[in-house]
Structure 1
Amino acid sequence: MYNPLFGLARDGWPIIGLFALAALVAALLRWPVPAVVLLLLTAFSLNFFRDPDRAAPTGEGLAVAPADGVVCKMGEASDPLTGEMRQVVCIFMNVFNVHVNRSPVDGTVTEVRYIPGKFVNASLDKASVDNERNVLGIRDADGGQWSVVQIAGLIARRIVCKAGPGDRLSRGERYGMIKFGSRLDVYLPHGYLPAVTMGQKTTAGLTVLARKAE
């Protein structure tokens, strides 16, 4: 769906290449300060767009975190696709996290909805309704409806989503990313409960985010 190229997200290569080329030109022209700055930007971009391979945990009735980051909000909120009140878990990603996003569950994409908006701090509550965002609807094998929302932030100004209606996603499969700091909200279907706590660090595709209630 959204496989890396040499361990880096494909959308990062043009940016990395641009900084690296500019650093080389500055060095050849003997401009030391610009060369060092551009070299640092190249190194930062290499770190930001890293995309390590990960094997999602197996087992029934569980969902994994779709993003690296920290749980910044939990509770009930209105699902942006259905309008129903559901449990939601929000993960804030800073610029040092891996920014590739992964599917929390095995399922079929039912809808992708882009919503234009502002670019306020993604860690704020109002970001979920004010900011630019992309909502991915996934129906799991039991008919449960998941809504995964990519939210742009102060720095992040480009949401990448390679999944479309009808696509099949596996638990932990890559489907997109948000560039340069942002947030992911996951609306759980009825019958699932969060398996994380406020302030907990998450690793996309590895951390168990929610479990089906017994």
Structure 2
Amino acid sequence: MTIHKEGFVSIGLAALFVLGTNALLRNFLGEIEWLTTTWLVASIIFFFIIVQFFRKPTRLSPINPKHVIAPCDGKVVVIEEVVETEYFKGPRRQVSIFMSPINVHINWNPISGVVKYFKYHPGKYLVAWHPKSSTENERTTTVIQSPNGVEILFRQIAGALAKRIVWYVKEGQQVSQGSEMGFIKFGSRVDIYLPLDATLNVNLEDKTTGSVTVIATLN
């Protein structure tokens, strides 16, 4: 299993925590065998949960200028027509994908093109499925314009556990469909805003595989 670069520090700190707490328990409470053994097992499980969170799978994206691919692993929790007020200032179809702590948390570019707009917004840490998380939580907004002029907006949104959003894109940058655009640590969601005439290929509760699942087809 390959570990993502965003996980090196967190995994190192988790390893120190496991080693340190077990050493302290053995030193001061070593005679209470059931306690030290229980904590040893629990701390090892905790460590492997942290490791699996930062796993980096190898995936091949189905490059297609008509396709909008899922920017993350997770479950589709919202499909609705909304008025997007930050960039388009008009109606769009929103698709929201919730990422649980057991999902891969890498984010991928849904289309190829030029990054026309990017902005980081500090904010709250409401639970990721809260309706106001899209506008009040810490988040980023990215707009990519495809070679044929279609623009897709998507947001990385922090959740109650996600305390750090990482991004690798900037305005004016050329990006490829399925390339990494960022990472969100420990539970969150991504919102995608599509043209109203795009054909949806997913339904509510569908599971998505980031950089693989085709969530919409552009007309």
Question: TM-score normalized by structure 1?
Answer: 0.90
Of 154, 162, 168, the residue aligned with 1:156 is 162
1:210 aligns with 2:205: no
- Give the percent of matched residue pairs that are identical in Structure 1 and Structure 2: 36
Whether 1:188 aligns to 2:194 is yes
Q: Out of 7-16 and 197-206, give the one that drifted further.
A: 7-16
**Gaps (5+ residues) in structure 2?**
28-35
Deviations 1:55-92 (A, max 9, x none): 01133411100010010001112223222211111101
Letter in 1 for 2:9: P
Q: Cα offset for 1:177?
A: 1.1
Aligned residue for 1:17, secondary structure, equals helix
Secondary structure at the aligned position of 1:46 is classed as helix
Q: Which amino acid aligns with 1:119?
A: Y
TM norm structure 2: 0.88
Aligned with residue 12 of structure 1, among 7, 16, 19: 7
Q: For residue 124 of structure 2, what is the aligned residue in structure 1?
A: 118
Structure 2 Cα separation of the partners of residues 132 and 23 of structure 1: 30
- Secondary structure of the residue aligned to 2:195 is coil
2:44 aligned partner: 39
> Shift in Å at residue 35 of structure 1?
4.2
Kindly tell me the number of residue pairs found equivalent between the two proteins: 208
Q: 1:12 is aligned with what amino acid?
A: G
Deviation at 1:95, TM superposition (A): 0.5
Q: Which stretch shows the higher mean deviation, 21-30 or 192-201?
A: 21-30
What SS class does the counterpart of residue 14 from structure 1 fall into?
helix
Shift of 1:175: 1.2
Q: 177-186 or 34-43, which moves further after superposition?
A: 34-43
Instruction: Name which one, 1 or 2, has greater alpha-carbon Rg.
Output: 2
Per-residue deviation, 1:192: 2.0
The residue identity in structure 2 corresponding to 1:142 is N
| Aligned residue identity for 1:64 | I
Q: Is the 8 A contact 1:67 1:205 kept in 2?
A: yes
Aligned to 1:129: 135
In structure 2, the residue corresponding to 1:165 is in which secondary structure?
coil
Q: In structure 1, how many angstroms separate the alpha carbons of the residues matched to 2:42 and 2:14?
A: 9
Give the corresponding residue for 2:67. 62
Q: Deviations over 1:163-208 (max 9, x none)?
A: 1112221111111111111010001135423211111000001100
